[in-house]
Amino acid sequence: MHIPDGFLDMKTAAASAVVSGAGLALALRWAQRTVAANARPLMGLAAAFIFAAQMLNFPVLGGTSGHLMGAVLAAALLGPAAAVVVMTAVLMVQCFLFNDGGVLSLGANLFNMAIAAPVAGGAVYALLKRALPGQRGVILAAFVAAWFSTMLAATCCAGQLALSRAAGWNVVFPAMFHVHLFIGLGEALITTLILAAILRVRPELLAKAAIPGSGPTMGMFLLWGGLLALGLALFVAPHASPLPDGLEYVAGKLGFEHKASAAPLLPTPLPDYQLAGKTGNWSTGWAGAIGVLVVFTLGWGMALVLVPAARNEAVHGASLH
């Protein structure tokens, strides 16, 4: 999902750099205020850990392999603010040393994988974990959050590519979305397997975030939420335009596409053209809805398999919460 250099135009690169810069500044401020001095070296080490974990290839069918992104893993292990800083460090090293992902698209990559994924994924993880106490709750929450963070990052990535006119939204969004339905499952599977391994040997590491004091406050969550909404409004909302693709194409040809694509931020619910059979959006919507159901079911299955009932009961209330 690392966007290489050359695909984003100046306006998209600059806009995403500004949004990411603000997000990173927020995370650094938050971390600087709350992370204790003795936990600061762990942030550097955790970044190296995520990098090393990303280098392990998990075999998939037919000789292909996948690897971890690690945003939700970092958020679960370290807390959201530290996770943003850690993922930023990982992406910067990948960009400057390993040449994975471009420099001019670093802002966009940071927004997708170091800000949107750990913050939104971390929020989903925290909410579900609170709803479902015990170790099984941890597994289910991590499974759903990891999948969600991957889908969110993929959607933002598609939006940025389409905004730069590198590819049409009607091509790049379905492609990214459908592929990442499965990549997200891989990410969720790896994340939960790792967390289950840690729960087996050192459950207390997951009882609270390993970096103490980086817990979120209400104000911070509001700021983060606003920032994410801004990013989505910039990258994704313009493409949720209620115009059919053919019209967009004509508009592009006549040269007033810019006006036409200024879509409302709040799309009207079920505009009639959708009912008239615009299959593209429907199939994506259905795929997403079915995906959420499948993910919750699979996550619960993983929780049942990975955490024996005895351990779930024993730990409930003692070490977690």
Q: Which two tokens stand for residue 86?
A: 């850690």
Nearest approach, Cβ of residue 111 and other proteins (Å): 16
Nearest approach, Cβ of residue 216 and other proteins (Å): 18
Cβ-based nearer residue to other proteins, 253 or 270:
253
> In a 10 Å sphere around its CB, with 0-12 CB exposed, 13-18 middle and 19+ buried, how is residue 242 labelled?
middle
CA distance 14 to 235: 12
* Element containing residue 59 per DSSP (H, E): strand 58-59
Q: Of the candidates 68, 126, 67, 116, which has an alpha carbon nearest to the alpha carbon of residue 88? A: 116
* DSSP codes of every residue in 133-153: -SHHHHHHHHHHHHHHHHHHH
Report whether 160 contacts 108 (CB < 8 A): yes
Q: Of the candidates 245, 141, 236, 244, which has an alpha carbon nearest to the alpha carbon of residue 196? A: 141
Report whether 249 contacts 241 (CB < 8 A): no
Report whether 291 contacts 267 (CB < 8 A): no
Rounded to 5 degrees, what angle do the CA atoms 67, 169, 107 make? 55
Nearest approach, Cβ of residue 284 and other proteins (Å): 16
Nearest approach, Cβ of residue 61 and other proteins (Å): 9
Cβ-based nearer residue to other proteins, 255 or 272:
255
Nearest approach, Cβ of residue 85 and other proteins (Å): 6
Cβ-based nearer residue to other proteins, 58 or 289:
58
Nearest approach, Cβ of residue 246 and other proteins (Å): 12
Cβ-based nearer residue to other proteins, 89 or 117:
89
Q: Of the candidates 79, 20, 80, which has an alpha carbon nearest to the alpha carbon of residue 230? A: 20
CA distance 292 to 143: 11
Cβ-based nearer residue to other proteins, 100 or 278:
100
Nearest approach, Cβ of residue 10 and other proteins (Å): 6
Cβ-based nearer residue to other proteins, 191 or 312:
191
Cβ-based nearer residue to other proteins, 45 or 265:
45
CA distance 243 to 132: 42
